[in-house]
Chains A and B, each alone.
Chain A
């Protein structure tokens, strides 16, 4: 089956709905514990902010065995009076369906895009099914910039703990910003708003049998929107608190997926990013406020040990593509004590750009290459933690800004090396 629309029950449901204004999609896989809250928040968002619009909620499920789809069907707001002054004028529809294609978040999103396209919706949003901090306001903040502001893509902006989202802060955000010139702070946030036109555009792309269908969908959506000149903005959603991730989730697999997807897109859009200099802020919607965040435990000694082990054992692989100055630096860094341990921004930028070039040149098997980045990433994170131990959120953000500038300043070097290939 090539499309979800070939499924009889979906076709009947869509014929019943005919057209809609707003669609919110929730991809899920065994999220019975949390999805009820997300569905209720979305329904309340529809009722509170879009009472006169035809709204559809789509749950695209990856074959959950814990009753996730039943939880979606059964989740309703008993008493709208408790949160609203008026009942909504138009009823909201609910579609719950298993997605088709390769197992992964990307395939779940494809199903959402296809339904959005079939219903000819004006605005869509997708939200994670494990969110604990979602409120009805998120729906307004992700949808209204599209409907009333004419934006095509709305990225989320959260307040997070200073050591939360370290791959985003040290690699994905600075790299995406330096490459494509837009300061989108959470390019892989997971909760996005987008126009019906952009959903149609996503469907025209031939990526649904690739890694995008498995795990690279977040960065793919953001990059595709920016690189194809769609109008982008970001919305402040407050704090992002989600169900704790499986502690067994392998960090190196995570790096391989996220960084690999970012590097793949560098290849796709090389003609775009080579011509972009510097970066510009994007419009931020929503009222920003401070939020209390839970403290995070960090074992810096263990992180430095992992870095040292990596330098000792993986140097032979890195020597194939890292510049001599970096190799020299790494050999020196293993001898530093915890108090002296520091990886400067410029060195980190050169490491990431060298990995991107090696990925493009196919110097080493891609999975080996990206997984070998893990000890260096852990080392950089340890250095960042030591540097910002006493810093507040604002100071940390300043440090990240400095890193972004270092990425932008070194971009010329990347372009020169890229063209040599």
Chain B
């Protein structure tokens, strides 16, 4: 009976305890690293924020319209605060990775390895999205201004269409980079984009027939009274 108890309960418990005691220093060092990471992250956040304030980064971002971009993206904090916060979280994240690898658990190590291999894709995808967002705003506004100056009534629609198309393209590229539903996304984008073009062609062909006729008549017959103002 005693032998059975030892084999079933006592030995596994002892084994677990032994392994736990062996693992304990790793766990303690991981917790310690995590705590140090928390402090280092907080310190980095505060220091980089102060440094950026001294370097007048907020004034620079105000002048170059970066604050507006942040506001449009729903970020109400200043650029130096955003960068400070990001730097803090980055330092903390690095400590989390170090702390996890200090546990020496093969399963966690394998997960970390896979995560690190995937990280560049994530980074590239974020960059693509960011550039896509900036470009979509820029070209959307350029299209809006150009069509207003050309006197097109649908200027707002044109501006939004250009903006959305560029951002959709960037989002498709980002998702493709992440390897999420690669073929599906490309096909979906092609269908949506092709559909919009087809819809516009039909709309112009049928709906705009009279308008096109009127426009051509005006052009050919020269009915429209033109300005002869010389601006310069």
B231: min CB distance to chain A, Å? 5
* 0/1 string, A358-374, CB within 8 A of B gives 1: 00011111011001101
Per the bound structure, the CA–CA distance linking A372 and B155 in Å amounts to 13
Spot the interface stretch: B60-68, B75-83, B111-119, B124-132. B60-68
Name, among A250, A365, A421, the residue most crowded by chain B CB atoms within 10 Å (CB to CB). Answer: A365
Knowing A361-B63, A368-B142 are in contact, say whether A309-B148 is a contact too (CB < 8 A).
yes
- Known: A371-B145, A371-B149. Is A298-B232 also a contact (CB below 8 A)? no
User: Does B151 contact A362, Cβ atoms closer than 8 Å?
Assistant: no
The stretch from A59-67, A134-142, A282-290, A299-307 touching chain B is A299-307
State how many angstroms separate the Cβ of B61 from the closest Cβ of chain A.
11
A363 to B226, CA, bound (A): 35
Residue of A303, A310, A314, A381 most packed against chain B (CB within 10 A):
A314
The reply to whether A299 and B64 form a contact with Cβ atoms under 8 Å apart is no
- Chain A positions 354-390 with a Cβ under 8 Å from a chain B Cβ: 361-365, 367-368, 371-372, 374-375, 381
Interface pair A296/B229, CB less than 8 Å apart: yes
Interface size on B, residues (CB 8 A): 27
Within 8 Å CB of A312, what residues of B?
156
Chain A contributes a number of interface residues (CB within 8 A of B) equal to 43
Across-interface contacts of A167 in B (CB, < 8 A): 231-232
**A96 contacts the other chain (CB 8 A):** no
Most chain A beta carbons < 10 A, residue from B64, B68, B141, B229: B229
Those of B138-170 within 8 Å (CB) of chain A: 138, 141-142, 144-146, 148-149, 151, 153, 155-156, 159
Residues of A contacting B230 with CB < 8 Å? 164-166, 245, 296
Residues of chain A with a CB closer than 8 A to B149's CB: 250-252, 306, 371, 374-375
* Contact status A166-B68, CB under 8 Å: no
User: Which of A166, A297, A305 makes the CB contact (< 8 A) with B231?
Assistant: A166
Asked if A340 is an interface residue, CB under 8 A from chain B, the answer is: no
Q: Which residues of B contact A166 (CB under 8 A)?
A: 229-231
**Residue pair A368, B228 in contact (C-beta under 8 Å):** no
Chain A contacts of B225 at CB under 8 A?
297, 299
**Using Cβ atoms and an 8 Å threshold, which residues of chain A touch B224?**
299
Q: Which of A305-348 contact B (CB under 8 A)?
A: 305-306, 309-310, 312-314, 317, 320
In the bound complex, how far is the Cα of B142 from the Cα of A368, in angstroms? 6
Q: How far is the CA of A193 from the CA of B227 in the complex (A)?
A: 32
A168 at the interface (CB under 8 A from B): yes
> In the complex the two chains form, what is the Cα distance from A313 to B156 in whole Å?
6
Evaluate contact between B145 and A163: CB separation under 8 angstroms: no
- B232 contacts which chain A residues (CB < 8 A)? 165, 167-168, 188, 254, 258
Given contacts A309-B151, A371-B149, contact A365 B231 (CB under 8 A): no
A314 touches B145 (CB 8 A): yes
Q: Are A362 and B65 touching (Cβ within 8 A)?
A: yes
Give chain B interface residues in 48-107, CB to chain A under 8 Å. Answer: 62-65, 68
Minimum CB distance partner of A305 in chain B: B151
A296 touches B228 (CB 8 A): yes
Do the beta carbons of B227 and A299 come within 8 Å of each other? yes
Assess whether B155 is in contact with A297, with CB atoms less than 8 Å apart: no
Instruction: Name B227's contact: one of A250, A303, A374 (CB within 8 Å).
Output: A303
CB neighbours (8 Å) of A247 from chain B are 226
Q: How far is the CB of A355 from chain B (nearest CB, A)?
A: 14
With beta carbons under 8 angstroms apart, the residue of A165, A255, A306, A320 that contacts B151 is: A306
> How far apart sit A212 and B96, CA to CA, in the bound complex (Å)?
56
Do A313 and B228 touch (CB < 8 A)?
no
Neighbour of A363 across the interface among B65, B151, B228, CB < 8 A: B65
Within 8 A of B (CB), among A111-145: none
Q: Which residue of chain A has its CB nearest to the CB of B158?
A: A313
Query: Which chain A residues lie closer than 8 Å to B142 at the CB level?
Result: 367-368
A364 neighbours in B (Cβ, 8 Å): 65
Cβ contact within 8 Å between B151 and A164: no
Question: In the complex, what residues of A have CB within 8 A of residue B64's CB?
Answer: 362
State in angstroms the CA–CA spacing of A251 and B145 once bound together: 12
Q: How far is the CA of A315 from the CA of B199 in the complex (A)?
A: 29
Contact B146 A371 (CB under 8 A): yes
Do A317 and B141 touch (CB < 8 A)? yes
- Chain B residue with minimal CB distance to A363? B65
Q: Which residues of B contact A372 (CB under 8 A)?
A: 145, 148
- Shortest CB–CB separation between residue B94 and chain A, in angstroms? 35
Partner pick for B145 among A305, A361, A368, CB 8 A cutoff: A368
Decide: A313 near B144, CB < 8 A? Known: A297-B225, A320-B68: yes
Flag if B229 contacts A298 (CB, 8 Å). Answer: yes
Which B residues touch A374, using CB under 8 A? Answer: 145, 148-149
State in angstroms the CA–CA spacing of A313 and B153 once bound together: 10
B residues less than 8 Å from A371 (CB atoms)? 145-146, 149
Chain B residues within 8 Å of A164, by CB? 229-230
Starting from the known contacts A165-B232, A309-B153, 19 additional A-B residue pairs (CB-CB under 8 Å) come to A163-B229, A168-B232, A251-B149, A251-B231, A297-B226, A297-B228, A298-B228, A298-B229, A299-B224, A299-B225, A313-B155, A313-B159, A314-B148, A361-B62, A362-B65, A363-B65, A363-B68, A372-B145, A381-B229
Instruction: Show 10 A/B contacts (Cβ-Cβ < 8 Å), sorted by A.
Output: A247-B226, A254-B231, A298-B228, A299-B225, A302-B227, A314-B148, A320-B68, A362-B63, A365-B141, A374-B148
**Across the A-B interface, the 5 shortest Cβ-Cβ residue pairs:** A252-B149, A297-B228, A167-B231, A296-B228, A374-B149
